[in-house]
Structures are given as structure tokens and as C-alpha cells.
Structure 1
Amino acid sequence: MKHVFCGLLTLLLGGAATAQTTTKTYSGTSDIFINPERGFSVDRIAYHAGEALNLSDMQSTRTAGYSWVRRIYNLQDFRSAAISQAYLDMVAADFGTARAAGIKLIVRFTYNWDTGADASKSRILGHIDQLKNVLQANADAIAYVEAGFIGRWGEWHDSTNGLDNTTDRGDILKRLLGAVPASRMVALRYPNHKKQIFNNYNALTPSEAFNQTDRARVGCHNDYFLSDIADGGTFTYGDDQAATRENERAFLSQDNRYVVQGGESGEDRPEFSSCSKSVAELRRMRYSQLNAYWHNTLLARWQTEGCMDEVKRSLGYRFRLTTATLANSVATGATFTASIKVKNDGWASCYNSRGVEVILRNKSTGAKLVASGGALGGSKDPRFWLGGEEHTLSVSYTVPAGTATGQYEVLLNLPDPQSSLRTRPEYAIRLANSNAWEGSTGYNKLGHEVTITAGSTGTAAVADGTYTLTARHSGKRLDVQGNSSADKAQVWQYTANTSSAQRWVVRSVGDGYYTLTHEGTTKCLDVDGGKLDNGVEVWQYEANGLDPQKWKIEPTSDGYYKLTSKASGKCLDVYGGPAATADYDNVVQWEYVGGTNQQWKLDLVSSSSARQATASATLSKGTELLAYPNPSPDGQATLRLSAQKAQTATVQVFTPQGRPAGRFAVPVTAGSTDFALPAGLAPGLYRVQTTLDGKVRRLTLKVE
């Protein structure tokens, strides 16, 4: 049975502007400017406790154009002892200093600097365990960590303790990966060590990228770049090993699509380090970082031959707006749409996660509307914006009812996702466009204004209540198999009847999104695993407040609506296309093309007050715990505690590891009480638990 394939309704960039939209073309710039987590870096070495970073020095470093410092910790005083508390305190203080100065740190621990011994394996593992807490607490100030610890300079060769073998290297690397925050990468000196340790000689694939497995978190730092045919042993030596070296370089180029590559050069050797050869190799290996002072002879050649400015511009990412098509006006309660193209002129992509927001800012008041998460579609993860590629970001954002009318300027914000840095412009990405950067906020101006007008009703598209949903093409209703109350029960279309299997409690959760709860249960209409693909099954699942259970309900024509998943941007669809009219035809998610199998009529069965009595049937007669927004974009969320009688509830928040993250005594009245969680939760999943009317209630809160 042929399915009607469909694409999200967005405006095509190549088309001419209409009265409803404007298509803009943007000018790039060749300016050299600072951006986070990329470019040249400088070194600062601590040999002993008491040699903490100096704030004035770090501020001057940033002013000089460096967004990061490679911080090397020489543990020579602790080869045979635990790291002292004074030294650990210095490391912790350094992260605070870096944060205050608006920079990040590349971190390496070693037991010598050129000459001297390293430490035993057991000592190294113990030191990593000691460092774990301070590293975990400072993910926001870490760009990445170099593997260190073993051998001369911590570069994994010439170990004085016999650690130059795959078993010991693997044990140390995996212990370090467990100590470093899961959101951060570890860079190895030699790419062949990664293959050997993980017994996997394949480069990372897109599906493996950024999944926080150990292998996906291991990059490379080449500390003898362009020194000879093998980069000082980075690749295999031997006049007869040219094919092997080429295979090794090919692996590294592909692997580095999704992991960090940094390093420093060797001495100038014209046969290897001319500008033409250097730039070609830097581009192929997707370099994000180089040492600004080593080696001075090679760097001088780049200056003399004229490619230094190109290197400064191209290390890491360099994102540039090319074109955008944007709506000229939108009414409250309606959808603002845009399609924005960004090209990466740099050699690498982002390797750490990055926020993406399209902001509408009131020109009179400065009030902001922020489109993020499910309001964005297309290519919305900058980590996949590879060097030389152009990507399209689509926007479909419902302007909330009650928004002040007027002129709003459109901006693109690429903030650091860490809550401590999210609003700091030093950590936002600047685009390589003329007259776009707004340094006071870290926003990039799109040079466009949109007029927001009052909607015809000023109300949500659908009022809260209990509804049946009827597919336009078949006249069959959205139905739960066997009226089941089980998780993962199948949802399909079925002939209309009076059972609660076809009744859905629709409830607004803000920003134009709704949950649909199977009447008489706590099971919500849910996308299997929050997957993004066409054809993914839609089922029912226990309410959890996450995006796969949030649906945007928007009118199409003649009283019908489309329902779009916040998690995927795909719409509620009867599988098989308009010809699929039989009972039991499955309901899935699919891109929207206006097919009648993707349009639904919502018929009100009972109002919001009636819904309240049924939606909570299994929640102890009205006892429930909800959170909104969920996911929370900034670590702030409001809990809604519903109870039958007045009481004081103890709300506990736990990290994914089960550690307490907050405990609050909340006075609860009979009915619903809202409680705002304090800001400051770092990105991740949290378990929230309380007891209401003697019943334990839990939910999962996601912080982005």
C-alpha cells in the first residue's frame, strides 16, 4: 500500500519572496574574531600547589584573542603520594578563574615536563579518582581533556613504569573517561591507540556520534604536526609504509567529523610545512585547536607565506548565514515560520553540544519570544554542521496568546547549553557575517523584523477538554487497542463507538503544545522512544512530561487539525496514506504534506471541568505531579502539585546517579499548587519525587 510521503511545511529558500515572507541574502566577513572552543590556545603550567591561574592574566589572554588556555598540571610532587588537598583546591579554583574570565580550559595531567618519571598504574588510577569530583563539578569550564598521565609530557610514550601497552593504556583511559564529565571528550596523543583500546578500526558513524559511549568521546591531539612523514610517530614510520600512513590519515579524517582534533606543530621543515601542504592537512584532519607558540619556526613560515590569517579563521567551526526566508507578520496564537541557511566555512564542527534559539525581540520593550527545541526542525544540531557544508534550520513557532503586539526583530542565538554560561555572550557563537553580531547579548541579528498582530480570538487553538479524534480520510477514530491501560498499548484507527478507548483528555502545557491522555488512565499519546524517523509507532505511555508526549495542534482547513510531535516535528499519521481506511490501520508519525490521513477532526465530549474528574482517575482521585516546561531550556521549571486536601509536601530532586540535587518543603492547598524550582540545574535528566495524599508521585525532568 503506497504511503503519501510528506515534508514539513516550510518555505523554500530558492523561491521569490511573497507578500507574506521575505527572503534575505547575507554578506560574509573575512574578519578574524574570537569564538568559544576553537582557534589557537596558549599554555599555562602548574608545577606545584600555589601556582593557580591569575584572573588578570586570563582576562588579558581573552583580550588578546584566545578563547581557551591549555592548563597543564604537573603532578611531579605526587608520584608516590596522593594529591594534596591544596593542589586539588588549586585545580578547582582554576576553573572558577577561567569561568570569570570568559574562557575555557583544555586540561592535561602529567608527572613530568620533558624529563622525569611518570607514576605507577595504581597511583595514576588513584589520582584520577581523586580528581573526579572537581572535574565533574566544572564541566562548563572544560573544553576537553588530553589523556595525559603516561610517559614524557603525558604524551603516552617512554613510560618509566612500563605502561606503554594496550591493557594499561586502556584501563587508564577508561578510568579517566569515567572521571571526566560525560558531556566532555578526552583526546589521545596517538590515533592508533584508540583503535587498539576499543578493538575497533572503523571511524565513528553519524549514528554513533555524540552518544556518550567511551569510543564516541575519544578524539586526538597531534603534538608533532607536520614534523616529518609520520608527524613524529602519530602515524606509522617507514619508507615502505606510505599506504599504511594514508589509511591511518583517512581513518582520522573520518573519525574527526565527530570528535575533537587539536595539537601543536613540530619544527619547520619546508618539505612538510609549506602553507599549501599545511592548510590541506589542517582541513583534511578537521583541526579545532593549535598551540599558539609551538613551534615558532613553523608558525613564522605561515606568516611569511601568507596563510596565517586563513588558519586563524578556519580552525574549528566558522558559521556563516547565507540566506533566510522569514514571515513578515504573524498573529498571536498563530505560527511564525522561517527557514535559515548556515554554512560552515571552518575546518571542523562543534564537538561539544550547543544550544540553538531563534529569538523574536520586541523593539519597544525588549521582551523576547524564544523558539527552541521542538519549535525548530531541519538540521538543528551544530555538531553535525561539518566543515564546508551548508545546513537549513527551519522554524515553526506558535506565538503565545496574550503576546504584546508590535515590531519584533529576529535573532539567532547559539549559546553554551550549560546553565551557568547560557546567558553569557563570551560563550555564544558569533557568525561570520557583516553587521550581525550583538556583543552585549551574544545574539546574531538576521536583519529582519516581524509584525505581531492580535489574533482573532487570542485563545489557544483548542480548549482543554475531552475529545474524540476522527481521521479526515477514513472517518475512523483514534483508538487504543482493547481499551488497554498498559504502557506501549497500540494506537490505531477504528470505527466510531462510545468506549473510552476513543476519548482523549486534551490539556495545554504551554507554547502551543498539548498532551492527549487516554480517558480514565494516566497514559499519554506518545512517540516510541522519542525517535525522529518517519513511520515510528505512536502508542500510549505513562505520563512523564517529556517532548514525545507533547503535540502541537494546528488548524488545517474545514475544521480539521494536524498534530505535530514536539520531539520530532513529525505529524500524527494513519500509516498507508489516504487509501488506508480499514479498522486496525496503525497510527505513526510522518512528515506532513497535507495528506487527509494526517488531518483530524476534534469533537468535544466534555469540558475542562469534566475532564479533570476523568483524567486523574488512576491518580488517587486528583492527586498528581506535573512539571512545565519539560524539557526546561534553562534549568528552571514549575511543578504543579495537585492534591485532595491541604498539606505540606516534601519535594526531592535527584540526579541520574541518584545523588540529591534539592529538597524543598512546599505548602500545598486542596486543588492545584504551583512551585517554581530554583534555577541552576545543569543539563541532564532528573528524578523528582514527592508524596501527596499519602501516595508517592514521581516524574522525570529533562534540563536542556
Structure 2
Amino acid sequence: MKCKLTNYEIFFSAFGQSLLVLGILLAPWFSSHGIGDEPPLQTIVFQPSTEDFANPERGFFHFRDLTNTSGYNSVRSQDHSLIYGRILASNFRNGPLSQSFLNQIQAGFDAARANGIKVKPRVAYNDGNGPDAPKSVILNHIQQLKPLWEANKDVIYLMDAGFIGWWGEWHHSTNGLDNNADRTEILNALLDSLPVDRMVGIRTPHFKREIFNGSPADATLSISAENAFDGSNLSRVGHLNDCFLASSSDAGTYVTPGWTRQEEIDYIGGESLYGPHGGETCSLSVFCAGPNAISEMQQLHTDYLHIGWHPDVIQSWRDDGYFDEISTRLGYRYELQNAKLPDEVKPSGLLNMEFTIDNIGFGELFNPRNVEITLENNTSGEITSAPLQIDPRFWSGGTSNEVEAVMSIPENMAEGTYTVGIKMPDYEASISDDVRYSIRFANEGVWDDVTGINVLKTDLLISENAAGATYQVGEEFEEIEDSSTIFLKGDFDSDGDVDGSDLLQWQRGIGNPFQFSDLADWQANYGKSSVVPTGIHAIPEPESLILVGSFFLGLIFLR
């Protein structure tokens, strides 16, 4: 049986060898056409700022009653964003919390949200030198409060362990709760009642060691980079010192036999890389002197302190010229050093970017928070954002952090000039659009107080005429986590480059799955490889040039 050959088969069988030779002759033409560099990255250097300004989840806090909203509106006017929200339950030592009392607590959270601040709640049954409540009452109160913690997670900074003893500071219990078993049961109940990504501050380090290791001198189990933020009770308990810098033992904070003050500081500092440390001072001492105070805060990664107590200590820092440094460095303080961005990018292109950000604060973030890259259309004002797959809670105090990201530009992104920025909004949807809860960088001229964005560049051009390749990207602006999963347009065989093999793949698949119009993508990206390093040409392989030359000569022959 004889088979009739198609025109293509006649072409490739009868004239294949001669066309390959002609294809080679055309190689110089193809090597100089259709091959382009990715747009080079331009370095932008940022200037630091010494301004003291309010940032969420850090800094000096103010004392307020959570059941009385008086004075909430004055916190941010002093460039602060935190309150210690006392819940004084002295009227309920022997019974359940009343609904009206629970409503007052909710009103306190509502007022905090309305005023752009966060709360560090603590439940106590006295204001010092008074009775606390029986354990059964405490456990019942914790269950009653659980819905409030869940409903107001967005404005809860962290929770003091509270409940036991004078001021809820876990000493002088009138109900015999000064023992490890009762402390452990109450702490576990409190942790269970809180959302899993909210932490608790415990009054002394030896209490924590005894709860989790069975002995106040045993630090075998502690928070580390490996178990940080894993949701375990161990990782959710930080450190609270309400007599900070008061004496060699900080008035009973550091009392474990065989442990020196420096060993206690090293233990707490190791954990506070990934959790809270803070409290208040309670009296003047040699340890309060500015240089020592700053040194210990650096080692302890101190996140927050009471602005109102002790007034003599706070005033001494003002008088000696150390207050401003302490105020600006409590918690995190992010300072951009530089960023690298291209001047232009295509729709369906990749936006390569790098930035270096230092945390010059004492402490860190310990609640979840995204780092987003934003594109704002300079004509329409429309803002598009995409989160990066990084966790800023690991940007430790005193470290420099280098971030590299590849962002995909959707095909339908409007052409024009854009402002590129970094936004760190609150993680909770209820307040994520409230700029008062977005993090401001400590740099001159980067903060946009309308959008809550830290501006990197105001003139990124998105244009079809921009240099670089186009890719098979999705419909959203997003980070490309794995560059091996994204392919060039025209890379029909998905091998990471656009060459003659793709042309053959396209020929064989016209109609299904490819369309004739797809040839334009192949022509535009011919000779390019996926994720081409900046400034480096992607040189097509000789075999690809031969196939391309053969294809076009074949078209001529068939005509």
C-alpha cells in the first residue's frame, strides 16, 4: 500500500540536509534578533531617620483600666501604641463575672480599636496587698473570658499571666496558689483560652523553667529557632519583669540558686529572640544607669516598658540623655539600607527586586505579620499588593536582613508608571487596612501616612516595550517562590528556554493545545532562558538556530 506524503514530509525528507546548511547560514541573524537582557537592577540608597514615632506592637505603654475607657484617646498623641489594660475583678472573687462586667471589657477593646492602639490585658483580684480568688473561680473566669479573647484577638498584643496573688504577679496568693502545680494548671488554662498565635508573659524566669522542665534551675526545654512560633505552650510563654533594673536580683526576679544575673539574662535573651520581654521599673538603682539599661535591653530583646513607672527611673533617663534612644529602640525598629529594582518591566514579565533592612531595635515582632510588595498606579491610584514568603519575626534585633524576591506582573496589568513599596499591615483582616496598625520604617521620605506603605521607587514603568522576557504567569500579582515552576511564553516544551524545539512542538500542536497566535510569543522570546541573570545574554544553542532556519526556509519552499 502506498502512502501519499504531505508537503511538510516531502520538505523535510527531500530537502532536509540542504535546509540545515542554510539554517546554519542564518544563525548570525537569529543570534542578534529576539534576544534581550532582563532590565538591570538599579540601586536605591535610603537615609535613616532618628524621629520617634508610634509603631504598632512595641514601645512604651500606658496604664489604663480595660473596664474604663477614659484616656484611651491620649495614647497615640504621645507617639505610643500600647496600653496595659487592667481587668480588676475584685468584686468577683467568689463567683462568676457578671455580664455587665464582661460588656465593660468588650467596650475597652472597642475603644482600643477605635483609637488605633493594642492592649496587654491582665486580670487581677486586688491592687496589691489583698486577696486573690480560689483556683476554681479563676478557672471559671478564664472560660468566661475566652470568647472575649477570641473576638478581640486583633487588638490583643499579648496577655500577662495574672490572676494569682498581689497585682496578679504570681506572689502572695491568699488562696495557696504559690506552687508549681497550681501555676501550671492556671497557665495552661489561660493558654488554651487564648488564640494559638497570642502569647503570655510570665512573671519570673524560674517559674517558666519549673513549669516546663520540672526544676527552676533546668533550662533544657526553651524556645529556639527550631520550635519558635510552632503553637506549643512552651513557645507561647515569654518573660515579664515588673521590677526591671531594681537590684541585683530585680527584687526577686532572679533568685534561682546557682544562677548569676548574667546567666538569667542570657536565658531570657535567648528565648526573647522569639517571644516577648518587657515590664516596668520599680525603683532607682545602679542598674538603671543609662549605659547599663541599654546594654541589658539589647541582651534581653526588650519590647515594651511602662512609661509611667517608675517615674524616678524614667526621669533619670531623660535627665541623662538616654531616654530618646530607649524610646526609639524598644521592640523592633526597621531601617531600610538599600533596594535594587529595575526601571521597567513588561506585562507578563518578572519584577526582580532586592532590599536590605536592618532591625536596629532591641526586640522583635512576635505576633504574625506579612511583608507585602505593593504597586500603586500613579495615574489611577489603584494599589495591588502581594505578600512575600518570609517571616519578619525572625528579623532579630541588631541584625541586617537581605531579601530577594521575584514578582510576577499579570498580563492584564495596565501599562504606565507605578510606585513600588513595602507594606507591613496587621495580620488580622479587621484592622489590616488601618494605617495606624501598619509598620513604618525609620527612614527619611519613605512613609506614606495615607496608604501605610514604605515607598521604594516612584517611577517603575510597566510597558510592552520594556526589555526582558514574558512568562506564563497567573492573573494575580504575586511572588514566584520557585523559579523552576514558571516558564517563558513560547516555551512550548517547558524545558526552560525558547528555541527551535519549541517551534516543532508548536507545529505539532496547532489547534490543540496551541493556537497560531502563540507563534508571536515564540518570536518575542526566542533565544531566551527562564530566570536569566541580570545583564547576561541568553545565547541560543546552534541546534535551535538550525531548526529555526529550517522552519522559515520550509515556509518559503512550500509557498
The 3-state SS of whatever aligns with 1:555 is: coil
The 3-state SS of whatever aligns with 2:75 is: helix
The 3-state SS of whatever aligns with 2:287 is: helix
Counterpart contact for 2:343–2:459, Cα < 8 Å: yes
Compared CA separation, residues 397 and 455, structure 1 to 2 (3 A): farther
Counterpart residue identity of residue 152, structure 2: N
Counterpart residue identity of residue 278, structure 2: G
Which structure carries more helix by proportion? 2
Counterpart residue identity of residue 444, structure 1: N
Compared CA separation, residues 145 and 602, structure 1 to 2 (3 A): farther
Q: What are the superposed Cα offsets for residues 585-631 of structure 1, whole Å, 9 maximum, x if unpaired?
A: xxxxxxxxx9xxxx9999689899989xxxxxxxxxxxxxxxxxxxx
Q: What are the superposed Cα offsets for residues 479-502 of structure 1, whole Å, 9 maximum, x if unpaired?
A: xxxxxxxxxxxxxxxxxxxxxxxx
Match of 2:272 among 251, 256, 259: 256
Q: What TM-score, normalized to structure 2?
A: 0.78
Residue 389 of structure 1: CA displacement? 0.5
Residue 372 of structure 1: CA displacement? 1.8
In 1, distance between residues paired with 2:136 and 2:477? 56
In 2, distance between residues paired with 1:121 and 1:390? 46
Match of 2:476 among 494, 508, 511: 511
Counterpart contact for 1:189–1:223, Cα < 8 Å: yes
Residue 445 of structure 1: CA displacement? 1.0
In 2, distance between residues paired with 1:40 and 1:341? 27
Which structure carries more strand by proportion? 1
> Which residue does the alignment assign to 1:247?
263
The 3-state SS of whatever aligns with 1:161 is: coil
Match of 2:49 among 12, 20, 29: 29
Compared CA separation, residues 306 and 237, structure 1 to 2 (3 A): farther
Residue 461 of structure 1: CA displacement? 3.9
Match of 1:307 among 305, 322, 326: 322
Match of 1:277 among 292, 297, 302: 292
Q: Could you list the runs of 5+ residues in structure 2 that have no partner in the other structure?
A: 1-37, 515-559
Counterpart contact for 2:373–2:388, Cα < 8 Å: no
The higher-RCO structure (CA 8 Å, 6+ apart) is 2
Counterpart contact for 1:334–1:455, Cα < 8 Å: no
Residue 307 of structure 1: CA displacement? 0.2
Compared CA separation, residues 338 and 559, structure 1 to 2 (3 A): same
Counterpart residue identity of residue 427, structure 1: Y
Compared CA separation, residues 609 and 173, structure 1 to 2 (3 A): farther
> Which residue does the alignment assign to 1:350?
365
Q: What are the superposed Cα offsets for residues 332-371 of structure 1, whole Å, 9 maximum, x if unpaired?
A: 0010110011000100110111111111111111122323
In 2, distance between residues paired with 1:301 and 1:259? 28
Counterpart residue identity of residue 317, structure 1: Y
The 3-state SS of whatever aligns with 1:140 is: helix
Counterpart contact for 1:401–1:455, Cα < 8 Å: no
1:187 paired to 2:201: yes
In 2, distance between residues paired with 1:335 and 1:38? 36
Counterpart residue identity of residue 44, structure 2: K
> Which residue does the alignment assign to 1:535?
none
Counterpart contact for 1:561–1:601, Cα < 8 Å: no
Counterpart contact for 2:81–2:116, Cα < 8 Å: yes
Counterpart contact for 2:412–2:475, Cα < 8 Å: no
In 2, distance between residues paired with 1:217 and 1:361? 37
1:414 paired to 2:424: yes
> Which residue does the alignment assign to 1:449?
459
Q: What are the superposed Cα offsets for residues 648-691 of structure 1, whole Å, 9 maximum, x if unpaired?
A: xxxxxxxxxxxxxxxxxxxxxxxxxxxxxxxxxxxxxxxxxxxx
In 2, distance between residues paired with 1:286 and 1:148? 22
Match of 1:157 among 167, 171, 187: 171
Match of 2:159 among 145, 168, 181: 145
1:222 paired to 2:241: yes
Counterpart residue identity of residue 339, structure 1: E
Residue 553 of structure 1: CA displacement? 1.6
Counterpart residue identity of residue 464, structure 2: A
> Which residue does the alignment assign to 2:14?
none
Counterpart contact for 2:244–2:250, Cα < 8 Å: yes
Bigger-Rg structure (1/2):
2
Counterpart contact for 2:493–2:505, Cα < 8 Å: no
Residue 446 of structure 1: CA displacement? 1.2
> Which residue does the alignment assign to 1:103?
117
In 2, distance between residues paired with 1:420 and 1:22? 37
Residue 558 of structure 1: CA displacement? 7.4
Match of 1:554 among 452, 474, 487: 487
Residue 196 of structure 1: CA displacement? 1.1
- Over the matched positions of the two proteins, sequence identity in percent amounts to 33
In 1, distance between residues paired with 2:94 and 2:282? 33
Q: Map 1:381-530; keep pairs closer than 5 Å.
A: 381-454=391-464, 461-462=471-472, 510-511=475-476
In 1, distance between residues paired with 2:94 and 2:456? 58
Q: What TM-score, normalized to structure 1?
A: 0.63
In 2, distance between residues paired with 1:513 and 1:284? 37
Counterpart contact for 1:111–1:117, Cα < 8 Å: yes
Compared CA separation, residues 244 and 290, structure 1 to 2 (3 A): same
Counterpart contact for 2:335–2:442, Cα < 8 Å: yes
Query: How many aligned positions are there?
Result: 468
Residue 561 of structure 1: CA displacement? 4.5
> Which residue does the alignment assign to 2:60?
40
Counterpart residue identity of residue 309, structure 2: W
The 3-state SS of whatever aligns with 1:411 is: strand
Counterpart residue identity of residue 292, structure 1: I
Residue 245 of structure 1: CA displacement? 3.0
Residue 232 of structure 1: CA displacement? 1.0
Q: Map 1:599-678; keep pairs closer than 5 Å.
A: none
The 3-state SS of whatever aligns with 1:276 is: helix
